[in-house]
Amino acid sequence: MRTWPDPSGLARIGLAALLALSGCAPSLKNVTERPHTRATSNHADSPLKDHLASHIPPGQSGFHLLQGGHAALAARLALAQRATRTLDVQYYLFHNDTTGKMVAATLLAAAERGVRVRLLIDDIDTADKELRLATLNTHPNIEVRLFNPFHTRSTNLFVKGWQALRDNVRLNRRMHNKVFIADNQIGITGGRNIGDEYFDAHHDLAFIDLDVIAAGAIADSLSTSFDQYWNSIAAVPASALPVDAGDIRLQRAAQFLQQFRAQQMDSDYGRKLTAADPIPKLLEGQLAWRIAHADLIVDPPEKVLKRSKSPSRLLIGQLAGLWLDPTRRALIVSPYFVPGASGMAYFEYWRSQGVQVDVLTNAYAASDVPVVHAGYANYRVPLLEAGVNLYELKPVAEATGGRLRDLGSGSSRASLHAKTFVFDDEHVFIGSFNFDPRSALLNTEMGLVIHSPELAREVTAIAQDAMRPERSFRPRLVVEPVTQGTSRRVQWHDLHQGKERVFDVEPETTLLQRGLLRVLQTLPIEEHL
């Protein structure tokens, strides 16, 4: 007779193995020095300030959209090259790929000129980058901090998973903020992290994203937010990492990065960056700034430590406090879209008031996180019943021209990553916030609410271009009679080579993918999506 191992015994063995692995892995050092530093005054002299004075009136703010990936990276590199005092850089992800190396090289070059560089990165993806971050941190003008770090340092997924289970309240909450600030005069914020897929440099994946350059008075608000995170108890200096990086390694890294950047700038990609760079034209007045009032809304850094007892302090509470309820149209662009009960209540109320509600998100075939798409799929029929117009971006768009990145003849798979809302073509939000429970309740987020009809119309035009039937599937509700009442299901419509198509299942997916989606839809994990 065949016998099977005792499940409880196997569980104990597995737990013991995890504890042993965790015990062998190095941990963060006990670092007592964590000096508080602040952004320099935005009244301090700076060439950037002098340039802006001619184009942005005192006490006001100017904005410029960054839609294309080339322009978005070029703008960051250009600001780093022009900074003379400070660079404050805060990101959820900072990859060690082509664009990551180019940004690192530019930060290092700025530090060599005497610019103070503060680099704050969420710790979710730094396990294999510790030595590189520690090396940058050895430069006297660069300080690196990790936000909400894993105390046990290991690239082993089982060890990281064990930590996440053991300390799930804290480690399940991440810093999703993204900002790049030069001399407390000009900042860039929006949906992009630092990585090839965000800047049209990845061969297999191209994120459709959106940033905004913000200059003038609003830059001080961006810097204040950065300071709050930088000086938070959750921000740990890179000197706590259990790795050693000395001057020799820094010298070698600096030499390699500068050579790498020079080679890239002399390539076809580098020439595209130079051609797309908007900063020289903005500083010289050849490109017009959108002058407008704006509100920075941002979660408090302590959101990662515990559940907030005061929702009004969170980004969603601050947004509600601006009283921007639409009277004509609400446009929601979010790659990860799970409205939840509160979101559905807003949409149903707006529809009852005659407000047109349009939502652009990813199709299942375009999504890079299937489990979040499953959360959205559970709301698709109720959204359609409420009269919400849904649009799902295709993974590859037809070559129809226009402003959206044309992937019709390329090899890259497109995936929506922009996070923006437009109310009545008057107010536009651009930031890191996805319309889902994770952004609302778990991760920290930030964004600008810009009160500018011109900028709102620009964003609306970009979204409407993406919602065209050549580029997005349009889910529609089908109501059919059955034996006892009616049934409701979804059909997807689009245009392909000038002909309308209708799908009764998730377009461009396999039977296996659809089976996985049905399983994921049953999981009780909506609050973590």
Length of the chain, please?
529
In the chain, the amino acid numbered 471 is R
Contact assessment for residue 189 and residue 447, using Cβ atoms and an 8 Å cutoff: yes
Active site residue 424: yes
Residue 299 a catalytic site member: no
Helix, strand, or coil (residue 46):
coil
Given 176, 272, 303, 373, which residue is catalytic?
Answer: 176
Amino acid at 487: S
101 carries an active-site annotation: no
Q: Which among 137, 346, 323 is positioned nearest to 238, based on CA atoms?
A: 137
Residue 84 burial (CB < 10 Å; 0-12/13-18/19+)? middle
Write the single-letter amino acid at 523.
L
Q: Which two tokens stand for residue 456?
A: 């709102």
Spell out the alpha helix ranges (H) of 25-97: 47-53, 69-82
Name the β-bridge partners of 121: 91, 146
Q: What angle do CA 395, 401, 403 make, to 5 degrees?
A: 80
Contact 156/21 with Cβ under 8 angstroms? yes
Report whether 194 contacts 100 (CB < 8 A).
yes
SS3 195: coil
3-state secondary structure (DSSP) of residue 276: helix
344: left (phi over 0), alpha (psi -120 to 50) or beta: alpha
Q: Quickly tell me which residue has 């180019």 as its tokens.
A: 102
Q: What is the DSSP string of 307-368?
A: --S-GGGSHHHHHHHT----SSEEEEE-SS---HHHHHHHHHHHHHTT-EEEEEEE-TTT-S
Cα 309 to Cα 312: distance, rounded to the nearest angstrom: 9
Active-site residue, selected from the candidate residues 417, 427, 436, 494? 417
Distance CA 509, CA 395 (A): 11
Q: Which residues contact 220 (CB under 8 A, 6 or more apart)?
A: 39, 42, 184
Helices and strands of the chain, counted as H and E runs:
18, 20
Instruction: Tell me whether residue 419 is one of the annotated catalytic residues.
Output: yes
Query: Which of 64, 70, 394, 419 is flagged as catalytic?
Result: 419
Using only C-alpha atoms, the chain has a radius of gyration, in whole angstroms, of 24
At 43 the three-state DSSP class reads coil
Active site residues: 176, 178, 183, 417, 419, 424
